[in-house]
Every structure is written in C-alpha cells, then in structure tokens.
Amino acid sequence: MSHKKPVSVLVVIHSPELDILLLERAAHPGYWQSVTGSQEGDEALIDTARREVAEETGIAAAAADLIDWQQRNVFEIFPEWRHRYAPGVTHNVEHVFSLEVARDTPVRTAPDEHLGHCWLPLADAAAKVFSWSNRDAILALPQKRRR
C-alpha cells in the first residue's frame, strides 16, 4: 500500500460576484468544503490543484487561471484518516489556491467523493464549511483575488 503525502491543496472556487462553490463529502454527509486533495508523487502544487479541480468538479482549469496564494496551513490529520499516511504522520501542510469561474459553469462532482454541490454567498459559505482553514480562506478571498 502506498501512503498519501501529507501535502495537499485547498482550492476556493468562486464566481466574479464572490459566490463560493462548495462540495458535500460523500463519506460525511453534512460536511461541506472547497476542493481539496493530496499531492501525488513529485507533481507541482499547481498541477495538484488543477487535477483536483478537474477530478472533483469536472472544471478544466488552466494553470494561469489559478491563483497561488503562497499560503500554507498546517493542521492535524483527523485520526480516522491517518491510516492513509505513513506511520507516525499526524499533520498535513495545505497550500491555498483560488479559481474564478462564471457562476453558470457546469459542475460535475465525483460521486465516490461528493454527494453534491452548491453555490453560496461568501459569508454563508464560510459559515457552512467544517474546516477552519477553508473558512479562513473563504473570508480572505476578497483581498486575495485578482483585481
């Protein structure tokens, strides 16, 4: 069994009006989040972000469309998911990105990962996500997005 790398991306997908796309986790109904996923092998983080966006939403984003915030969050991996990592790994380093798309962009969620999706105004989305790092990224979006 190969272990997941404790390095991941968080991609906040938003409309020009700052509506936020959220995904509901299949393994935890009621848990909403932005796109997240682990880096594979030696892929560049921007490629991890592009791959995860495509896998989780069906949106094909060019590297130039993503904004790398140059921000890292370190958090403890939930005990129920630690078996996916090498023995003794307890923390993950998450790299934050954002992606602006039109509100009517078609979204196709991965049924094995997500039950569905919704678009919410920024404050509502920040209140709905279960992760503190996702909440903080959503709240920081107005300052981080391209002008």
Known binding residues for substrate: 4, 25, 36, 75-78, 131
Supply angle C-alpha 71, 29, 59, rounded to 5: 50
Binding-site annotation: residue ranges for Mg(2+) = 52, 56, 113
Terminal CA-to-CA distance of the chain, rounded, Å?
45
Radius of gyration in angstroms for the set of CA atoms belonging to the chain, rounded to a whole number: 14
Distance, in Å, from the CA atom of 77 to the CA atom of 39, rounded to the nearest integer, reads: 15
Binding-site annotation: residue ranges = 4, 25, 36, 52, 56, 75-78, 113, 131
Q: Strand 114-121 vs strand 19-25: parallel, antiparallel, or unpaired? A: antiparallel
